[in-house]
């Protein structure tokens, strides 16, 4: 009997997917509940590793069901994180990350008149990690409705790539299959589809959003300029 745990690499991910597929055939509802619970737990408490769960969703539920499931769970989990931060975490976040909060607050205020598109930009081209944006959003006075929709829409391309990758990996039985024309064409189509919304938002941002160069982005990401 295998012990269930969060996968740390692709090998563990494939083992977990195989075990859960066997379990799902017998207990589909329980497998779905287990996956949703694990996903919401990681998102709600800003625990890294959701990308592996996205890949697992593709392997377990298929590309399109997995995409819808992950997009909804990402949004709901991020909203739980927002609410937990609003209730318990504001002072801690400001205490431990004062510079990051101040910089992000300034950018949010500069783009307040087109806040939703700025939030989409942050999700598609992150100046700051998603977990930090989820935690700091209540401090920045970002409305919950705009926050939820920006996560749902803005992270769909990322979720799409991860879920499609999981669906492809679940069908590969050997290393040679990775370099087959069918797999390569699927990966190419996946990359093109994921780039389209990012390109549109980037064009919009150049015209309407107030964004600085690399220095502030590096500071928000925790890297100092040399």
**Tokens standing for 18?**
């195989």
Please give the tally of structural domains in the chain. 1
Reported as a single tens digit per residue, the pLDDT across 114-170 is 889 889 888 887 778 899 999 999 999 999 999 999 999 989 888 888 888 888 877
**Radius of gyration (C-alpha) of the chain in whole angstroms:** 19
**44 inside domain:** yes
**144 inside domain:** yes
* pLDDT over 80 (residue 217): no
**226 inside domain:** no
* pLDDT over 70 (residue 222): no
**152 inside domain:** yes
* pLDDT over 50 (residue 58): yes
How far apart are alpha carbons 121 and 115 in whole angstroms? 10
**198 inside domain:** yes
In this prediction, residues 58-86 reach a mean pLDDT of 94
Please give the residue range of the domain that contains residue 205: 10-220
**126 inside domain:** yes
Q: Are 81 and 32 in contact (CB under 8 A)?
A: no
How high is the pLDDT of residue 86?
Answer: 94
**Distant-in-sequence, close-in-space partners of 140: CB < 8 Å, separation ≥ 6:** 101, 104, 105, 108
**132 inside domain:** yes
**159 inside domain:** yes
9-27 exposure pattern, b = at least 16 Cβ within 10 A, e = fewer: eeeebbebbeebeebbeee
């Amino acid at each position: 009997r295998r012990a269930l745990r969060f996968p740390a690499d692709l090998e563990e991910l494939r083992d977990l997917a195989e075990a859960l597929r066997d379990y799902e055939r017998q207990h589909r509802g329980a497998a779905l509940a287990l996956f949703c619970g694990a996903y919401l737990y990681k998102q709600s408490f800003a625990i890294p590793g959701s990308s592996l769960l996205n890949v697992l969703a593709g392997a377990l539920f298929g590309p399109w069901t997995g995409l819808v499931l992950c997009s909804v769970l990402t949004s709901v989990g991020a909203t739980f994180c927002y609410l937990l931060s609003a209730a318990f975490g504001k002072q801690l976040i400001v205490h431990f990350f004062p510079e990051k909060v101040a910089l992000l607050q300034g950018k949010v205020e500069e783009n307040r008149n087109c806040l939703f598109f700025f939030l989409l930009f942050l999700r598609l081209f992150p100046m700051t990690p998603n977990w930090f944006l989820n935690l700091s959003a209540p401090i920045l006075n970002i409305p919950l409705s705009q926050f939820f929709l920006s996560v749902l829409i803005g992270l769909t391309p990322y979720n799409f790539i991860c879920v499609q990758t999981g669906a492809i990996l679940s069908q590969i039985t050997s290393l040679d299959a990775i370099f087959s024309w069918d797999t390569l064409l699927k990966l190419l189509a996946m990359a093109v589809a994921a780039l389209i919304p990012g390109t549109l938002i980037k064009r919009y941002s150049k015209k309407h959003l107030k964004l600085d160069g690399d220095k502030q982005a590096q500071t928000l990401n925790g890297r100092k300029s040399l």
